[in-house]
Structure 1
């Protein structure tokens, strides 16, 4: 496939027992003909057709094969995953078949990007228990993508209009997260966030590094990691010319960022960064994977089994993830 005919986006179905197929169809139904032409959907055609019928959308899904140019005419190109038993998927239930289908979608998306058939991956939510039940033992999309692409490390960035965070660690226990705080990892995290913002047009991103302990340890009273690990890492980055501040107490740094003082906050662990972003931008936060040889955005919510296949799912977050991905594909600022 030539560069001119490469799809901008490859959207994965996610766990078919969840809301992924529905929210994808809701956004597809709002796309322009040009956007449809540049969109590849990865998953199972019968499942997508059922989701479209659920929301009353007239969407024409057609199987796409590599090596063929795609002229939409309002059709949706689908890379059909093989070897699946979609009839065994139970709506709103954790299941190995559904977990395996979600994995196969990601695997196919990586293949498409590596083959030059698509630019940016957009992922619908998967369920980690279903993924593990199928024998795919990953901590989520980011870890899976790192393994599939051979990347030595990866980073999770949550992007929203007023607050964005990148994480030193994500899906590990709090005890392990503390152990992962190191000068090397902090420097790598700051660099990944800095480089991403530069590609989006920020000439000199302003980055704040959150402290680990209450009040950054209060001079060692509440822990010494901030003084012995985080502060030296920040000083080294400053010496390299980066606009980095910290450690700054986590109970103030996010507020300061929302007031426009910083473009990005480095959170030391999952909940420290996720809670403030989701509090102020639950429906529009986009999950972005950095440090990988592929670009990927995602919704920042789960499979919502409790409302799956009931026609109730809100596609706002999926729309935001797709819009961010289109900007990455086109080299513009979200």
Structure 2
């Protein structure tokens, strides 16, 4: 099957269905891509009607059906339309839809998967072990060599791309998880991402873990014992990478175009600057999966759910990146 993008609706008590359908309404007229929404039909149709989006939603009956926008729900029972914020049934459904989308990709029924936001907290409260979508999809795909990349551009068209060595960890556990192997793998995946994006180069810079990249070992030795040796090993493998560099200046240099990707050591080190410059256009891209997966870089935003005011820009960017990557692989 070619030209199919799957979109999971995420937590329906958040803004996932709204941004998914708004983005789809904007993207639908631009080409002949087919879309499969994976989620609850009642919620999708309700949003479509309330926002007057006029998307021609059809129940999915197979790849050969007439039309271009379909919805499928792997769950036997529909969700109630009046669920409360963070409902356990909505949280469990979001995980089921995510799993279904991944399995469809693995069966090559979809060319890419775009995932709307879920709440990790609510999923865990609902009784399911869950660290994050990146980790969950990696487990389903049976792969461990993955990394999270966030990318987006500011209002002047300047790109910032960040690949994370560690993801969803308490800060006190980060140092022990920043290993030479993980740093080197993230550099490798970042370089491949540059090739997948069609960039003319893959100039990568690695952050230090500690303030001022450790001040020569005066404020931590991870730069000398772990990150530096990983960068040197990557250089020996012909990767165009430097580091470790102090994070407090590195992102400025990357934004002005000195580097194509920044390798950050932990979640907030990378995502805080990325979201500062590209909150409305940022995309989360899981590197290393056997299929393409992107998502918006924001959460469920329960506080504005159901009001019709959610900005779909990040979801639009996620869909566009998924289509770009799928075309490149075709």
- TM-score bracket for this pair, using the shorter chain length: over 0.9
Map of 2:91 onto structure 1: 99
Instruction: Point out where structure 2 has 5 or more consecutive residues left out of the alignment.
Output: 154-158
Q: Displacement, 1:71?
A: 2.8
Q: Displacement, 1:165?
A: 0.3
**Aligned match of 2:52 in 53, 56, 64?**
56
RMSD, aligned CA: 1.6
Contact 1:123/1:296, CA 8 A, preserved across alignment: yes
Q: Displacement, 1:89?
A: 5.5
1:22 and 1:34 map into 2 onto residues whose CA distance is 20
Contact 1:88/1:97, CA 8 A, preserved across alignment: no
Map of 1:251 onto structure 2: 248
Map of 1:136 onto structure 2: 128
Correspondence list, 1:115-134, <5 A: 115-134=107-126
Correspondence list, 1:96-245, <5 A: 96-161=88-153, 162-245=159-242
1:286 and 1:243 map into 2 onto residues whose CA distance is 24
Map of 2:286 onto structure 1: 289
1:177 and 1:150 map into 2 onto residues whose CA distance is 24
Q: Displacement, 1:135?
A: 2.8
Q: Displacement, 1:40?
A: 1.2
| 1:269-292 per-position Cα deviation (integer Å, ceiling 9, x unaligned) | 000000000001110010000111
SS in 2 for 1:131: helix
Q: Displacement, 1:219?
A: 1.5
Give the TM-score of the pair, scaled to structure 1. 0.93
1:138 and 1:122 map into 2 onto residues whose CA distance is 19
SS in 2 for 1:205: coil
| 1:71-108 per-position Cα deviation (integer Å, ceiling 9, x unaligned) | 31xx52112232344117524x1121001110111111
Number of matched pairs: 324
Map of 2:156 onto structure 1: none
Q: Displacement, 1:54?
A: 2.0
Instruction: Point out where structure 1 has 5 or more consecutive residues left out of the alignment.
Output: none
| 1:143-190 per-position Cα deviation (integer Å, ceiling 9, x unaligned) | 110111111242110011321100000100111111111111100110
Which stretch has the larger CA shift, 225-234 or 32-41?
Answer: 32-41
Which stretch has the larger CA shift, 11-20 or 223-232?
Answer: 223-232
1:179/1:10 CA distance change after superposition, 3 Å: same
Contact 2:24/2:316, CA 8 A, preserved across alignment: no
| 1:289-322 per-position Cα deviation (integer Å, ceiling 9, x unaligned) | 0111221000000001011011111111111111
Are 2:70 and 1:70 equivalent residues in the alignment?
no
1:139 and 1:11 map into 2 onto residues whose CA distance is 20
SS in 1 for 2:97: helix
1:84/1:141 CA distance change after superposition, 3 Å: farther
2:137 and 2:316 map into 1 onto residues whose CA distance is 22
2:81 and 2:90 map into 1 onto residues whose CA distance is 8
Q: Displacement, 1:65?
A: 2.6
2:55 and 2:174 map into 1 onto residues whose CA distance is 44
1:7/1:79 CA distance change after superposition, 3 Å: farther
Map of 2:72 onto structure 1: 79
| 1:208-232 per-position Cα deviation (integer Å, ceiling 9, x unaligned) | 0001111111111111111111111
| 1:185-214 per-position Cα deviation (integer Å, ceiling 9, x unaligned) | 100110011112112223540000001111
Contact 2:206/2:262, CA 8 A, preserved across alignment: yes
1:143/1:17 CA distance change after superposition, 3 Å: same
Give the TM-score of the pair, scaled to structure 2. 0.94
